[in-house]
Structure 1
Amino acid sequence: MKLIIGNRVYSSWSLRGWLACKQSGLPFVEEVVPLYGEGWEERRAQGLLAPSHGRVPLLWDGETVVWDSLAILDSLADRVGADRFWPRPPAARALARAMVAEMHAGFAALRQQCPMNMRRRYADFQPDAAVRADVVRILTLWAEARARFGAGGPFLFGSFSAADIFYAPVVSRFITYGITVPGFAQAYMDAVWEHPWLQQWAAAAAAEPWIIAAFERKD
Structure 2
Amino acid sequence: MSVKLYIGNKNYSSWSMRPWLCLKKAGISFEEVIIPLDVAGFKEKILSISSAGTVPILEIDGVAITESLAISEWAAEQNPQILPSDSVVRAQCRAAASLMHAGFSALRTHCPMNVRGRSSKPVHAAALEDAAKVDAFWCSWLEKHATDQKPFLFGDWSMADAFFAPVVSRFQTFNLPRSERAQFYIETMENDVHYQEWAQAGAKEEWCIESADGYLS
Partner of 1:135: 131
Aligned pair count?
A: 213
- One-letter identity of the residue aligned with 1:65: A
Partner of 1:14: 16
SS of 1:60's partner is strand
Q: Displaced runs of 4+ in structure 1, greater than 6 A?
A: none
SS of 2:119's partner is coil
Partner of 1:156: 153
SS of 1:115's partner is coil
Shift of 1:218: 5.7
Looking at structure 2, the residues matched to 42 and 123 of structure 1 have their Cα atoms a distance apart, in angstroms, of 36
Looking at structure 1, the residues matched to 61 and 162 of structure 2 have their Cα atoms a distance apart, in angstroms, of 24
Identity %: 38
Partner of 1:102: 99
Alignment TM-score, normalising by the size of structure 2? 0.93
Within 5 Å, give how 1:1-219 maps onto structure 2: 1-45=3-47, 47-48=48-49, 50-52=50-52, 54-80=53-79, 82=80, 84-128=81-125, 130-151=126-147, 152-216=149-213, 217=215, 219=217
SS of 2:141's partner is helix
- One-letter identity of the residue aligned with 1:38: A
Measured against aligned partners, the alpha-carbon deviations of 1:83-125 in whole angstroms (never above 9, x if no partner) come to: x121112332122111111100010000000000011111233
Measured against aligned partners, the alpha-carbon deviations of 1:135-173 in whole angstroms (never above 9, x if no partner) come to: 122112111111111125111111111010000000000
Contact 1:125/1:178, CA 8 A, preserved across alignment? no
Contact 2:141/2:154, CA 8 A, preserved across alignment? yes
RMSD over aligned Cα, in angstroms?
Answer: 1.4
Looking at structure 1, the residues matched to 92 and 142 of structure 2 have their Cα atoms a distance apart, in angstroms, of 11
